[in-house]
Amino acid sequence: MGEILNFANVELYYDHVYALKGVSLTVSEGETVALIGANGAGKSSILRAITGLRKIRSGEIHYEGKRIDGLDPSAIVKAGIAMVPEGRRVFPYMTVRDNLLMGAFTRSDKAEIAGSLEMVLGRFPRLKERFSQAAGTMSGGEQQMLVIGRALMAKPKLLLLDEPSLGVAPKLVQDIARSIVAINRDERVSVLLVEQNSRMALRISQRAYALTTGAIALSGNSADLLKDDRVQRLYLGGEL
């Protein structure tokens, strides 16, 4: 498998405060990679840099072998990168159906869009049940499923997820975790997952990077990191 994403020696600042300090990471085709770490460690800044929402000061970002730092965010979406931002940004007064179709705004292939819609509703049966309901009336977990489904409607090759379990009821967190595994496996979508629920993130990813204050402190296979004393102490509360 080749690399789909190469994030090389990236520095990013907010005003004069650094958010990323020479960070390098890779995602291979078909892989799920987790980014774990405390609030303010720089995890979300990595996603904002990839999507062009924040301009990097130095370093390079390559997607499918082409350099994308400096591109307009809409061009990055069209290239095949979709992001699910933190905070479940649904269009509250629009139906579930219309929210999902908004995810396909860069596509014109009606038959394929219909196929994607069928796939998303099969992946998230709750969205099928709520299809004609206003998105703002759903629970937090259901809205999270909706924004993941909306991102999949763009038919991405790389899916960026920013804190998908945040504020979601524990039972639905399990459903969302299972759906991420299935999307990666069945749709062959590569996933870069930012998650404060470090245990969940390590269980559903193949590799992971642990960040502290804008730099990578540890990286490796997720199964190994789950057993690593430092990871248990710093990110997993000391026990498994």
Helix, coil or strand: residue 1 = coil
Q: d(Cα 231, Cα 201) in Å, to the nearest integer?
A: 12
**pLDDT at 132 (0 to 100):** 96
- 142-195 pLDDT, tens digit per residue, is 999 999 999 999 999 999 999 998 888 888 889 899 999 999 999 999 999 999
For residue 5, pLDDT over 90 is answered with: yes
**pLDDT at 151 (0 to 100):** 94
| Mean pLDDT, residues 65-70 | 94
- 16-62 pLDDT, tens digit per residue, is 888 999 999 999 999 999 999 888 888 999 999 999 999 999 999 99
Q: d(Cα 12, Cα 40) in Å, to the nearest integer?
A: 13
Q: In the CATH scheme, what is the code of domain 3-87+158-235?
A: 3.40.50.300
CA 65 to chain centre: 20
**pLDDT at 237 (0 to 100):** 59
Q: d(Cα 104, Cα 219) in Å, to the nearest integer?
A: 35
**pLDDT at 239 (0 to 100):** 39
* Domain coordinates in residue numbering, the chain: 3-87+158-235
For residue 112, pLDDT over 90 is answered with: yes
Q: Under a CB-based contact definition with an 8 Å cutoff, are residues 195 and 163 in contact?
A: yes
**pLDDT at 196 (0 to 100):** 85
- 77-100 pLDDT, tens digit per residue, is 989 999 998 877 899 999 999 999
- The model's confidence at residue 222, banded by pLDDT at 50, 70 and 90, is very high
Decide which of 5 and 85 is more confident.
5
CA 34 to chain centre: 9
- The model's confidence at residue 238, banded by pLDDT at 50, 70 and 90, is very low
- Please report how the helices 110-123 and 170-186 are oriented relative to each other, as an axis angle in degrees rounded to 10: 140
Task: List helix spans (H) across 95-197.
Answer: 96-102, 110-123, 125-129, 140-152, 170-186
For residue 108, pLDDT over 70 is answered with: yes
| Mean pLDDT, residues 194-219 | 93
